[in-house]
Chain A
Amino acid sequence: MNPATTYGFRVNRAGPLALLQDAGRFGVRHLGVTQSGPADLHAWAWANQLAGNRWGSPVLEVTFGGLELQAECDLTIAVTGADLSAKHDTQPLPMWLRIRIGKGERIVFGAPARGLRAYLAVAGGFSAEPVLGSVACVVREKLGGFDGQGQRLAEGDRLTVSMPDCAYTEAVEAPESEQPDYSRPAVLDLLPGAQIADFTGRSLYDAFNCEWRVDDRADRMGVRLTGPALHCRIGSMVSEGISLGAVQVPPDGQPIALLNDRQTIGGYPRLGNLTPLAASRLAQCLPGQSVRLRPTGAEQALRQHRAFIDQVQA
């Protein structure tokens, strides 16, 4: 083990899906390697901010819950994102807050109460050897994670952390306005894309005025939405690169919003792209939850994104 790292946690119980995620894997998408990184960029970035880490530090993404960790030394942590009924030993775990946990104490994630994915950052950051420039864990590609082979956390794993630069300071909490209630219906901002005018008028009306239901076919690759069938005059296209948040519409007319682990190229017409914050919000929706799509402009979307980044890098 690197001398600047130490064992921070032992995994007592792994739960269905806990993954190590830094900002993502960049500069290799032309090789067919997916972007990866946190499905909810917003909560992930806040976890690092609260833990006092720099942008991009590796964080645990805990989906559905079920994970139980035991601290192997005194640690400063912050947990953000979904309310997965987490406990600090027997007490409810305070979220969106920098807290201190002692050696031997446990963090226990239960079942989803609000939202789907929680983010646990430790001061100093989790530590793993980057693969293709990133530790972001992609099970399908067998890349990243603590072992470099794309493995999700497993019982008995010991998780290495980097020593924090500075000692614990006072508790810091994220502003209330930055702590979303994921159980409320989501409104997702979408930047219209090049094929939008190829959809029928009726379909465009439906796309932006109907409620969409999050299907149970939803994962880190993409989230399928069910509702009225959308019709596009283009059936399929020559495959081309797909950017984050692209909302593609296959011939069955049911849109799929493509998230971090999407395939790098694809050939269905697209309504456009969810903004990064809208993609984050969608990643917290449980199957059956309802969402709406709202068209937005590039200028407003960029302003909003930059305001968010300014806050988490403050």
Chain B
Amino acid sequence: MTHTALPRLESAGIDSWMVRLFETIEENNLLWLSALTHDCEVAFGEALVDLVPSYTTLLVTFDPLRISSWEARKRLADVLHNLVPDDAGGEGELHEIATWYDTSVGPDLERVARLSDMSVESVIKTHSFQEYRVFALGFSPGFAFMGLLDESLTCPRMNTPRQKVPAGSVAIAGQQTAAYPAVTPGGWNLIGRTAARLFDRNREGFSLLKVGDRVRFVSVDRQTFESEGGDPAPAEPAKEETGS
């Protein structure tokens, strides 16, 4: 089917509109999504319930008892008509995430190295070299999807997810990287662990990372990791084929 041009407003129930700005994942999307998020807060005020930004879209949920779907659509059309990219705020806050890269807490490091045809040291260097952007939060509270990973590191999600990924695990899958805020099941490849508290109910704003933020992983040794409160308990090995 041929869709109308972007941006597009799509029905997402009696209380929500999906604002689709882009088709593909690009860093520059964030400048527009940041501006759109801000302008929606202003345009909807008290009638706003939730805004969920993601790679290419913003889901806008409003109170259908305060404004109708049509009124909401009209406000969104106005916002889109006047939208300019947020060149300043769109830059996002920079976080350095101290990470202990080790095969005990990152039991997939060696497989990633093998699949990427490089040494474990090069995997660590490549992963910690680059600055990443937070494209979306989801999966669990404070779980930030970051990218884009250097193409040489691209490694698929595991076929058999782990039942328990330890909190703080730093992981990669496809062209993305993330750190698990809490113990959850998970299918990403574990390459290290951070002591950073990624989600804290007592912190202002709760989540360390927000959409649009910039992140750099900094390699630290075990001692530093533990002195920052990190738990060095080894992670469960993968059930994947080792390829050997």
A residues with a Cβ closer than 8 A to B are 26-33, 35, 131-132, 140-143, 191-194, 197-198, 233, 238-246, 263-266, 272-273, 275-276, 298, 301-302, 305-306, 309
Contact = CB atoms under 8 A, between A and B. Distances in A.
A142 B181 CA distance: 12
A241 B49 contact: no
Given A26-B49, A243-B59, A305 B1 contact: no
A111 B8 CA distance: 48
A272 to B, nearest CB: 7
Nearest to B182: A142
Contacts of A197: 1
Interface string B136-163: 1111111101000000000000000000
A238 B54 contact: yes
A242 B138 CA distance: 10
B54 A298 contact: no
A273 B138 contact: no
A32 B140 contact: yes
A143 to B, nearest CB: 7
Interface of B: 1, 8, 10-16, 18, 20, 23-25, 49-59, 61, 64-65, 68-69, 136-143, 145, 182, 184, 199, 201, 206-207, 210-211
Given A192-B11, A263-B138, A241 B52 contact: yes
Given A241-B57, A242-B59, A305-B14, 20 more contacts: A29-B50, A29-B52, A32-B137, A33-B206, A35-B50, A132-B201, A140-B184, A233-B1, A238-B24, A238-B56, A241-B12, A241-B59, A246-B13, A265-B52, A265-B137, A265-B139, A272-B11, A273-B12, A273-B16, A276-B14
B186 to A, nearest CB: 13
A33 B143 CA distance: 9
A263 B139 CA distance: 6
Contacts of B143: 32
B7 to A, nearest CB: 13
A131 B54 contact: no
Contact of A239 (B18, B24, B145): B145
A58 to B, nearest CB: 18
B96 to A, nearest CB: 21
Nearest to B9: A194
26 contacts: A27-B49, A28-B206, A29-B52, A30-B211, A33-B141, A132-B206, A141-B140, A142-B182, A192-B11, A194-B11, A198-B1, A238-B24, A238-B54, A238-B55, A238-B56, A239-B54, A239-B136, A240-B59, A241-B59, A245-B13, A272-B11, A273-B12, A275-B14, A276-B14, A276-B15, A306-B65
